[in-house]
Copies of this chain bind each other. A is one copy, B any other.
Amino acid sequence: MNDRFAKTPQPHYYAVIFTNQLSEDDAGYAEMGAKMFELASNHPGCYGAESSRDSSGLGITVSYWKDEESIAAWKADAKHLVAQNSGIERWYSHYELRVAKVERAYQGPKGRSV
C-alpha cells in the first residue's frame, strides 16, 4: 500500500467525490490543484484524499472526512483559496461534486503486503 491511498478508519465517515473535466485553458491549474489537495489533507477532520487524472484531463479526487462539520469548515477555506485565484470557471469545463456517507469498506488483494 503506497501513500496514494487515504488511511481511513472503520466506517462511518464521509467522502467528498469530485469528478471534473479540465478545460483546454488550464494555465495555473496545476499549482492551484496541488494547493487545494494540501489544504484538504491538512484540514482538521480530514483522513486524507485519493486523486487521479488521465491524459484527457478527466480527474477524480475523493477526500475523506470525519463528519459534515469538518467538510463545512474546509469548504469555507477552499472558497477563500478559489476566490484568491479566481479561476474555477476557467479551469473546469464541467464538474460533479457529491457528498456521501461511507457505510462499508474493504481492501485487498488479500495476502498482498504491498
Contact = CB atoms under 8 A, between A and B. Distances in A.
Given A94-B5, A108-B95, A111-B89, A17 B19 contact: no
Say how many copies of this protein the assembly contains. 2
Contacts of A85: none
A102 to B, nearest CB: 4
Interface in A61-82: 62
A83 interface: no
Contacts of A56: 4
Interface residues of A, number: 46
Interface string A35-54: 00000000000000011111
Contact of A93 (B19, B51, B97, B112): B112
